[in-house]
């Protein structure tokens, strides 16, 4: 199988490749449009800031390329947020694959549970609705680090509670996305990555 | 619900795991990658690897170790020790570290926190604070493994670190560390309530109840310990089961 991880100005790319290696696969990390278009599976990872990353994607033409991909695509963390229509982070116009807004968590006042922003750590995914998941993953803990979130919507494929119930995964056609980091989520994360590779 | 995190800390010297009791008497306890993988399998939520030789020698050995850890371990990990410039952190990021922890170097050069956060994001930057209790609310920040007192105070320094871009605070009470009588819960609760970033509690774990207390009374987001895990005094699966039964949100 030919797996490509899209290379752009964001961190976290090596972690995804390490996770694939542990599953017995290897990916090519590349920004080459031809290689990305031809791949069987495309992973769009990301840790970074939305507006500067979108600017980079537009300058390199990767924005239109990603939108037009036909094979299974998996966006992770910032990758998922960039696949939405707009992010409050740096007031960024994003790829609009998912017709959703990305907003910053607003802590409740008062805050008896001592919630923090970013949400950092392990939280549960539930109401799973995508081939990315299977019944064994319902209610499992996965690893999150994020200050911005996607509200519940038409394309919600998993729900998580933090401040409010929100979309911890999205799916529309061949586009899959997780707010959490499957590459850092232990056995549950490995199951999700291998489900994606088996699509 | 977001789970409270259990974090084993592995001190590394010359590529091997060690644990100082009150930062003296060093005793070897195993290969870091093997031990880390074992902890991950047992249910550790994150790992911390501190290179205690970093400021003197073996820098490259540690970067190579970080690469091995990143390839073999499927949960997040933080690395610390000897990071005094952006390029030190960048080498560790490129080796696969999820977060770096800075301590003395941040006290000496607070701007380093801003620089790291701007370059790599706040989620990458853990500011570790070792402090000694004086009277009442006064805690003196110390450096070099607790040996040198500074003019900084715990609460104001933690707030400053947050404002400069720290993503988490790892607070070790030098009065509680190694004593195994519980964490510094009063100071931890005050930190947790006055900051909006997660607090990792360190120093004092000796019994399962101490973790329950640090999450309820101390309001910490994560509890870190070393020797009780290394010597299997408290197995992680048993600890997590206990906390779950006590009604603490925990990943089983």
Subunit contact A122:B198, Cβ cutoff 8 A: no
- pLDDT score at B128: 98
Q: Which candidate in A77, A86, A94, A146 is catalytic?
A: A77
Show me where the domains of chain A are located. 3-197
- pLDDT score at A10: 67
pLDDT over 70 percentage in chain B: 94
Lookup: tokens for B17: 């795991």
Residue B251 lies in a domain: no
- pLDDT score at B22: 38
CB A131 within 8 A of CB A166: no
- pLDDT score at B215: 98
CB A159 within 8 A of CB A133: no
Q: What does the buried/exposed string (b/e) look like for B76-112 if buried means 16 or more CB atoms within 10 Å of the residue's CB? A: bbbbbbbbbeeebbebbbebbbbbbbbbbbbbeebeb
Distance from A166 to chain B by nearest Cα, in Å? Answer: 12
**CA–CA dist B184, B139 (Å, integer):** 11
Subunit contact B196:A107, Cβ cutoff 8 A: yes
- pLDDT score at B21: 42
- pLDDT score at B23: 38
- pLDDT score at B44: 98
- DSSP summary character for residue A152: S
Note the ipTM here: 0.92
Q: Which candidate in B11, B88, B213, B221 is catalytic?
A: B11
Confidence of residue A179 (pLDDT cuts 50, 70, 90): very high
Lookup: tokens for B64: 């190579």
**Contact list, B122 vs chain A (CB under 8 Å):** 118
Q: Is the peptide bond before A110 cis (omega within 30 degrees of 0)?
A: yes
**Tens of pLDDT, residues B73-96:** 999 999 999 899 999 999 999 899
CATH of the domain at B155: 3.20.20.70
Subunit contact A11:B124, Cβ cutoff 8 A: yes
- pLDDT score at B20: 46
- pLDDT score at B75: 97
Please say if A77 is a catalytic residue: yes
- pLDDT score at B31: 83
- pLDDT score at A12: 64
CA distance to A129, A159, A164, A172, B244, per residue, from A153 (Å): 12, 10, 13, 11, 32
- pLDDT score at A75: 97
pLDDT above 80 for A186: yes
Q: How many domains does chain B have?
A: 1
Per-residue pLDDT, averaged over A41-53, amounts to 89
Instruction: Find the domain containing B17 and state its range.
Output: 5-245
Residue B40 lies in a domain: yes
Subunit contact B98:A15, Cβ cutoff 8 A: yes
Residue B140 lies in a domain: yes
**Tens of pLDDT, residues B112-160:** 999 999 888 889 999 999 999 999 999 999 998 788 999 999 999 999 9
φ/ψ (deg, to 5) at A42: -120, 130
- pLDDT score at B232: 82
| Pairing mode of beta strands B125-133, B168-173 | parallel
CB B128 within 8 A of CB B102: yes
φ/ψ (deg, to 5) at A126: -145, 175
3-state secondary structure chain B: CCCCEEEEEEEEECCEEEEEECCEEEEEEECHHHHHHHHHHHCCCCEEEEECCCCCCCHHHHHHHHHHHHHHCCCCEEEECCCCCHHHHHHHHHHCCCEEEECHHHHHCCHHHHHHHHHHCHHHEEEEEEEEECCCCCEEEEECCCCEEEEEEHHHHHHHHHHHCCCEEEEEECCCCCCCCCCCHHHHHHHHHHCCCCEEEECCCCCHHHHHHHHHCCCCCEEEECHHHHCCCCCHHHHHHHHHHCCCCCCC
CB B174 within 8 A of CB B131: yes
pLDDT above 80 for A184: yes
Q: Which residues are A144's β-sheet partners?
A: A121
- pLDDT score at A171: 98
- pLDDT score at B57: 57
Subunit contact B251:A141, Cβ cutoff 8 A: yes
The average confidence (pLDDT) of chain B is 91
pLDDT above 60 for B26: no
- DSSP summary character for residue A137: G
Among the partner-chain residues B2, B70, B193, the one whose CB lies closest to the CB of A121 is: B2
Q: Which residues are A28's β-sheet partners?
A: A4
A100 in the Ramachandran plot: left (φ > 0), alpha (ψ -120 to 50) or beta? beta
**Contact list, B121 vs chain A (CB under 8 Å):** 11, 47-49
**Tens of pLDDT, residues A62-100:** 999 999 999 999 999 999 999 999 999 999 999 999 999
**Contact list, B72 vs chain A (CB under 8 Å):** 22
Q: Which candidate in B45, B88, B130, B177 is catalytic?
A: B130
φ/ψ (deg, to 5) at B177: -60, 125
The fold of the A3-197 domain, in CATH, is: Rossmann fold (3.40.50)
A109 in B contact zone (CB under 8 Å): no
**Tens of pLDDT, residues A87-135:** 999 999 999 999 999 999 999 888 888 899 889 999 999 999 999 999 9
Q: Is the peptide bond before A118 cis (omega within 30 degrees of 0)?
A: yes
- pLDDT score at B30: 74
Per-residue pLDDT, averaged over A158-172, amounts to 98
Please say if B221 is a catalytic residue: no
The average confidence (pLDDT) of chain A is 95
Per-residue pLDDT, averaged over B22-42, amounts to 73
Subunit contact A14:B96, Cβ cutoff 8 A: yes
| Pairing mode of beta strands B5-13, B16-21 | antiparallel
Residue B252 lies in a domain: no
**Residue B43: which residues within 8 A CB-CB, separation 6 or more?**
B6, B236, B237, B240, B251, B252
- pLDDT score at B60: 76
- pLDDT score at B55: 52
Residue of B nearest to A10 (CA): B120
pLDDT above 50 for B208: yes
Lookup: tokens for B45: 């939520």
**Tens of pLDDT, residues B222-240:** 999 998 988 888 999 999 9
């Amino acid at each position: 199988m030919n797996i490509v991880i899209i290379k752009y100005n964001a961190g976290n790319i090596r972690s995804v490749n390490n996770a694939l290696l542990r599953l017995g696969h290897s990916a090519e990390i590349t920004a080459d449009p031809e290689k990305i278009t031809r791949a069987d599976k495309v992973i769009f990872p990301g840790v970074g800031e939305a507006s500067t990353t979108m600017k980079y994607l537009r300058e390199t033409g990767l924005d239109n390329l990603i939108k037009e991909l036909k094979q299974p695509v998996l966006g992770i963390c910032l990758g998922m947020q960039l696949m939405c229509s707009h992010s409050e982070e740096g007031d960024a116009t994003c790829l609009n694959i998912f017709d959703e807004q990305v907003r910053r968590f607003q802590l409740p006042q008062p805050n008896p549970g001592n919630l923090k922003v970013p949400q950092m750590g392990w939280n549960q995914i539930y109401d799973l609705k995508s081939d990315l998941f299977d019944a064994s993953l319902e209610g499992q803990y996965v690893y999150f680090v994020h200050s911005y979130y996607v509200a519940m919507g038409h394309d919600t494929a998993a729900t998580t509670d933090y401040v409010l119930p929100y979309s911890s995964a999205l799916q529309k056609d061949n586009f899959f996305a997780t707010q959490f980091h499957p590459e850092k989520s232990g056995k549950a994360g490995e199951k999700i990555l291998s489900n994606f590779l088996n699509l | 619900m977001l789970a409270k995190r259990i974090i084993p800390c592995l001190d590394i010297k010359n590529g091997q795991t060690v644990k100082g009791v009150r930062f003296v008497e060093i005793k070897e306890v195993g290969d870091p990658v093997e031990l880390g993988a074992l902890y991950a399998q047992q249910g550790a939520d994150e790992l911390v690897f501190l290179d205690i030789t970093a400021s003197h020698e073996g820098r490259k050995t540690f970067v190579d170790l970080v690469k091995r850890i990143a390839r073999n371990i499927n949960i997040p990990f933080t690395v610390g020790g000897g990071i005094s410039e952006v390029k030190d952190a960048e080498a560790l990021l490129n080796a696969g570290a999820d977060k770096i922890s800075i301590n003395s170097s941040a006290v000496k050069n607070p701007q380093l926190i801003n620089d790291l956060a701007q370059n790599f994001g706040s989620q990458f930057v853990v500011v570790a604070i070792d402090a000694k209790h004086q009277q009442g609310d006064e805690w003196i920040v110390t450096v070099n493994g607790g040996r040198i007192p500074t003019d900084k105070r715990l609460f104001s320094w933690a707030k400053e670190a947050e404002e400069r871009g720290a993503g988490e605070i790892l607070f070790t009470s030098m009065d509680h560390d190694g004593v195994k009588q519980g964490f510094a819960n009063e100071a931890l609760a005050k930190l947790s309530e006055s900051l909006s970033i997660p607090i990792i509690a360190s120093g004092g774990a000796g019994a399962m109840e101490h973790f329950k207390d640090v999450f309820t009374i101390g309001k910490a987001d994560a509890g870190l310990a070393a020797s009780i895990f290394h010597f299997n005094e408290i197995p992680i699966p048993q600890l997590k089961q206990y906390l779950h039964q006590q009604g603490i949100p925990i990943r089983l």
